[in-house]
């Protein structure tokens, strides 16, 4: 068994040294050459846990506050308990050429969107953003639970 492990380690070292020697230096491309580059695009999956302690009974704290009104005596829109879990799968980014010949970026919408108590637990308008929330003054909250699917893409191009 020791000999087999030694052979595997030697093979791994040989492969790693081969990978290191095959690298090429990056080359700058002009616009015409860059527009001829083709690839499969880029796909991204996102699993976001934002303040996920709220899902296990954590105390909502003021997470976001935005001032508005008079600059000397502002009021604040305060959002308590911003967080939850959000999953986005198969968000894609591709370079495409439109029928008129312009180059565009195609941002593909996620084929799966999932939420687990994702949102804001309470929203309040206060004169001091650090004061604890009085639930009687809360404007309510919104949380998302469930999953869905989307299709389509958003096209971006230079102006």
Q: What is the pLDDT of residues 16-67, one digit of tens each?
A: 666 665 666 778 878 777 777 766 778 889 999 988 777 777 777 767 899 9
What pLDDT is stored for residue 18 in this prediction? 63
What pLDDT is stored for residue 21 in this prediction? 59
What pLDDT is stored for residue 42 in this prediction? 83
What pLDDT is stored for residue 146 in this prediction? 96
* HSE-CB for 119 with a 13 A CA cutoff: 15
What CA–CA distance (Å, rounded) separates 33 from 84? Answer: 44
What pLDDT is stored for residue 115 in this prediction? 95
What CA–CA distance (Å, rounded) separates 122 from 43? Answer: 34
3-state DSSP call for residue 101? coil
Q: What is the pTM of this model?
A: 0.61
* Cα separations in angstroms, 85 against 21, 92, 115: 42, 21, 6
- Taking only the tens place, the pLDDT of each residue in 109-137 is 999 999 998 999 899 998 888 888 877 88
């Amino acid at each position: 068994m020791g000999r087999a492990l030694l052979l595997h380690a030697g093979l791994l070292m040989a492969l790693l040294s081969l990978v290191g020697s095959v690298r090429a230096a990056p080359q700058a491309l002009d616009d015409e050459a860059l527009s001829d580059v083709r690839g499969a695009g880029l796909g991204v999956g996102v699993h976001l846990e934002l303040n996920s302690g709220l899902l296990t009974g954590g105390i909502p704290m003021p997470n976001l506050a935005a001032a508005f009104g008079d600059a000397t005596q502002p009021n604040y829109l305060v959002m308590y308990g911003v967080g939850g879990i959000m999953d986005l799968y198969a968000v894609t980014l591709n370079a495409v050429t439109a029928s008129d010949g312009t180059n565009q970026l195609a941002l593909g919408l996620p084929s799966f969107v999932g939420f687990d108590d994702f949102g804001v637990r309470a929203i309040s308008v206060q004169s001091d953003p650090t004061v604890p929330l009085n639930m009687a003054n809360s404007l309510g909250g919104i949380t998302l639970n469930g999953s869905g699917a989307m299709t389509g893409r958003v096209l971006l191009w230079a102006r």
